[in-house]
Each structure stands twice: as structure tokens, then as C-alpha cells.
Amino acid sequence: MKQLSKTHRRILLVLILGAVWLVNEYNEGRLLQNPTVRSMLGETSESVSSSTNSSAVSGSYEPQSVIDQAFRKQRSDLIVTIEAAVLKVLPDDNQGSRHQRFLLKLESGLSVLVAHNIDLAPRVDRLAKGDTIRIKGEYEWNEKGGVIHWTHHDPAGRHEGGWIERNGQRFE
């Protein structure tokens, strides 16, 4: 096989990076959240705004600015781990899979809905306004501030599991 010249390799690299950029734009940035793509581009884990840490260490969580940034950029499908205060407890959603619902108030003023599947995970009992919780789940953008769901294990094992912690008790 004929070896490519230095100029041809550079042109090929520019074409590949251009294709990655186009795909990223098309997918609203989801491609660059992929750890494999980030490592190919030489980015470190510190430059990433979503957590890939599935550790059970309850003290490790991200700044709330991760969600603020995702909201501004209209990004979805981000695994996040944050600590926040409950703003309001909402009635359960009982259509289809049942979900315990509540709003979190971020320090920036943004409120985010949490939809916790109580068919797959235990309900967070006696949840009240002002409670501080830690939560790991998947952030989905919407114009109201977004939703965090997948706060439970995946019985099929195809999706990274999440959880909610309050007062040292984990609900997953």
C-alpha cells in the first residue's frame, strides 16, 4: 500500500475534523460528549461537562453550572451528578410508568424537573421543599429548564444507572 505524503495526511485530517464538526452540529453537540471522540480529539475529562463517574461515593458531584451550560446550549442526553435543593414537590405522573416528580432550584435561578421512575426505584419518602438531595441521572433540555430522568437502575443493563440520595439514603 502506498504511504500518504505529509500534505495528504493533513488534508485527510482536515476532512475528518470537518466531518466531525458537521455531525456534531447536526446532533446538537451530542457527539462530543462521547468519551472516545473526546480522547481522539485530545480533550481531557476535566473539559467535559457531564459525569462519567458511576462511583458510589456520595461526596462526588458536579457544580450546578453543568446544567446551566447544557440549558444555554440546548444540550440533552448528558449524565449529570449534582446536589441541589428541592423547590417544589409535584403530584406523581401516573400515566404509563409512574414517576415521582419534583422541581430542583439551582443557584443560578434555573429550575429543573426531576422525573423519578417509581416503578423501577423506591420513592423518595417524605420529600419536602428545601430538602437537599444529590442526584445522578440524564439531563434532557426543554425550554422550561430541562428534566433529569434515569434516576434509577436499568433492568435491561443498556443505560447507565442513576440514583437520588437524601440524608445518606440512596434511592435507585
Q: Which residue segment(s) compose the domain that 36 sits in? A: 6-40
pLDDT at 50: 35
The answer to whether residue 70 scores a pLDDT higher than 80 is: yes
pLDDT digits (tens, 9 = 90+) for 91-119: 999 999 999 999 999 999 999 999 999 99
- Whole-model pTM: value is 0.65
| Residue 167 included in any domain | yes
| Residue 150 included in any domain | yes
| Residue 46 included in any domain | no
Cα separation, 142 vs 139, whole angstroms:
10
pLDDT at 1: 55
pLDDT at 55: 35
Better pLDDT: 122 or 52: 122
Return the H-helix or E-strand segment holding 11: helix 6-26
Query: Cβ(32)–Cβ(78) under 8 Å?
Result: no
pLDDT digits (tens, 9 = 90+) for 138-172: 999 999 999 999 999 888 888 889 999 999 999 99
Strand positions, DSSP E, the chain = 78-93, 99-105, 111-117, 132-140, 147-149, 163-166, 169-171
| Residue 48 included in any domain | no
| Residue 155 included in any domain | yes
pLDDT digits (tens, 9 = 90+) for 13-56: 777 877 766 555 545 444 555 555 545 555 433 333 333 333 33
Same domain, 106 and 136: yes
Same domain, 64 and 135: yes
User: Strand 111-117 relative to strand 147-149: parallel, antiparallel, unpaired?
Assistant: parallel
Same domain, 33 and 80: no
Same domain, 67 and 138: yes
User: How many separate domains does the chain show?
Assistant: 2
Same domain, 71 and 121: yes
Same domain, 36 and 86: no
| Residue 47 included in any domain | no
Same domain, 20 and 75: no
Query: Cβ(132)–Cβ(94) under 8 Å?
Result: no
| Residue 132 included in any domain | yes
pLDDT at 23: 58
pLDDT at 63: 73
Better pLDDT: 59 or 140: 140
Cα separation, 141 vs 78, whole angstroms:
9
Q: What is the CATH number of the domain that holds 134?
A: 2.40.50.200
